Structure 1
């Protein structure tokens, strides 16, 4: 069994990397040792698992079947060993988190800062992504998204209040181009918007008044895939942007930006940290959840 687990792990890494060289580097061994390990495994089970050429390596049909069977199990074993270290007095291990840029800046970082000061042997890996990825397939411990975007098969923990969105521009731009009175007036203005990677569509701006919400499709003059350059662009005076209140409040207070359509201000649902059911009791994850709850 011990020999099988070792060889299966090597097979999984080679199949994922599609390269003996990269797999050897990842496992800290030589290319020839990896190659011999895979030959031994194939001889032992009596079937070819990898197709090899001088330029590439890829799983055979049997190899793909085996990879799909063993990958979740081996990753769960690795995750379990990593997580159980958190039961020590000085927990160690790595937490891998997927979150969008705004959540990292507004909610996650202050919790992470607290964790790394209190538990210096814990490592944190954060991937900034506005796409709706599969965190299990991506081998993340948890993700952070607005509540309505979290899959129903995940456990979700609220980590923020509702997110108020403001339409803003510089006074200079508004003095020159005029101040919209209604959300549909935005169609005639220069706007800066966000393109969402999951579907490739532009972010639709929503406005609410008297409990009625109106969605506006913005034909943006400038488009980004993250919010920070949107803020930078609107501060330069090129048009109107739609941003979370905590990103623009200071600039409104000092007069650099001006909120428009104040009577139509819309709030999105709170952000949640979410994770798979099988990781419900993971100690490292509990450390993160507790730090986020303290901030809330």
Structure 2
């Protein structure tokens, strides 16, 4: 077994251990699942110790496997960073970036930034996973995350990438004509509301409201719920209920009369999206240019200063 094969096997082990799945690791490595399984069996036989516990549904590391992962993983991260630095020397930052985000931020901030960035840096590839759960970016091997400022943990480096914005309650004219217009947030309990389904708790997002310093939350019913804001918007336009969505998502449909804004004096102002990543992680050149492309640059008239 030569050095290259040993390094390949260790890289494969790291992928399996961090993904906790042969299927995901095989896809990440670009090899078949049987070939990957054979690699791991051969590595265990060569080392004379069991590294992975396999069941029909999951993969986990043994104590020996966890020790090996902690020992070798930082070295592979250092190799990846070193290779990225070489790209920087030749003025072509490259490499793969894996980002956890949410649909609204991805559509309104991330995609426009990537449209400016990627043509200039064709050696950079970006994978974006939209998920409303608060992902552990270290454990799940993300380079960074994008969430509202209030959701970012204090031990993370956080950089603002978008302005604060309001959430607006909207409904189609036909819906309001049939069911009436809510005058207070508590009136929503008598309405059909289109909910955002949260992945972690299995519940729905509670709608926050504020007026004259008084804050309340209303938990909408679950008669109709989605895990994307685009489906919430489409359903509101179709007259299926009231939705609570970011202002920029609904403004065009309000302008054309497809939707009507209600409870305007109760709208909550959200804290704006931030890019966040661990403070102890050394940013690669590719990540640096990616972050700079996202950095929020408020105009002189911006309320966010």
Change (3 A) 1:238 1:48: closer
**TM-score after normalising by structure 1:** 0.86
1:101 deviates by 0.6
Partner of 2:47: 41
* SS of equivalent residue, structure 1 residue 139: coil
Q: Displacement of 1:96 after TM fit?
A: 1.1
CA distance in 1 between counterparts of 2:262 and 2:138 reads: 41
- Which of 93, 96, 100 matches 2:95? 93
Of 118, 130, 133 in structure 2, the residue corresponding to residue 131 of structure 1 is: 133
Gaps of 5+ in 2: 299-305
Deviation at 1:10, TM superposition (A): 4.2
Query: Alignment partner of 2:134: what SS?
Result: coil
Q: Is this contact kept in 1: 2:94–2:285, CA < 8 A?
A: no
Given that 2:161 and 2:296 are in contact with CA atoms closer than 8 Å, whether structure 1 keeps it comes out as no
Aligned pair 1:173/2:179, yes or no? no
Q: 1:23 to 1:187 in 2, by over 3 A?
A: closer
Alpha-carbon contact 2:100-2:145 (below 8 Å) kept: yes
Q: CA deviation at 1:41?
A: 2.4
* 1:253 alignment partner in structure 2: 255
CA offsets 1:233-255 (integer angstroms, 9 cap, x no match): 00100110000000000010111
CA distance in 1, matches of 2:141, 2:225: 30
Gap change, CA 1:60 and 1:124, over 3 Å in 2 = closer
Q: Which moved more, 1:208-217 or 1:238-247?
A: 208-217
Q: CA deviation at 1:204?
A: 0.9
Residue 73 of structure 1 is matched in structure 2 by 74
**Equivalent residue, structure 1, for 2:268:** 266
> Higher mean Cα deviation, 277-286 or 109-118?
277-286
1:279 is paired with a residue whose SS is: coil
> In structure 2, which of residues 154, 163, 166 is the aligned counterpart of residue 161 of structure 1?
163
* 1:93-148 Cα deviation digits (max 9, x unpaired): 11111100111001111111111111112111111111111111111111000011
SS at match of 1:98: strand
* CA shift for structure 1 position 25: 9.2
Q: Aligned residue pairs: how many?
A: 290
CA-CA distance at 1:38 after TM superposition: 3.5
CA distance in 2, matches of 1:222, 1:141: 34
